[in-house]
Amino acid sequence: MKIALASDHAGFSEKEKLKPLLTELGIDYSDLGTVSEESVDYPDYAKKVAEEVAAGNVDQGLLVCGSGTGMAITANKVPGVRAAVAWSEEIARLARQHNDANVLALGARTTPEGDIPKIVRAWFETAFEGGRHQSRVNKINALELQARGKAQ
């Protein structure tokens, strides 16, 4: 598995701490920034990851900012992306199992530091269940196509 990884300044430290875990899990990653705790605009980094996921260049994305919310909102603007904010292992598993989420957004300021690796592990160890959930994901995809048609 290959993923795109990014953070803003608030998530930089946590992003760096996750790299050894990703390696341990056998996940190849591309770090798309940021490179320090100097203030940056989170939409720039969420967009980079989302575009890599949507283009099929990577299997999934991982974003870390202050709350996870801003990056998830931004990533979800890119067609083909289903970004979820997870604050617990259970939410991470459900987002994968039921929603086939392909981008995980984490809040470095809102999630206890010790929980973040557990959430990431749960995310990457969980697969989409399909079945009854597939028709719901199909409806999400249809809404996206409908919205794109109106925008053109």
Annotated catalytic, 98? yes
**Which residues sit opposite 85 in a β-bridge?**
105
- Element holding 106 (H helix, E strand): strand 103-107
Q: Which helix (H) or strand (E) holds 2?
A: strand 2-7
Q: Which of 10, 50, 63, 65 is catalytic?
A: 65
Whole-number Å distance between alpha carbons of 89 and 13 = 20
Report, in angstroms and rounded to the nearest whole number, the Rg of the chain calculated over CA atoms: 15
Q: Among 98, 118, 121, 133, which one carries the catalytic annotation? A: 98
Is 65 one of the annotated active-site residues of the chain? yes
- CB 138 within 8 Å of CB 99: no
Question: What one-letter code names the amino acid at 42?
Answer: Y
Name the residues annotated as catalytic: 65, 98
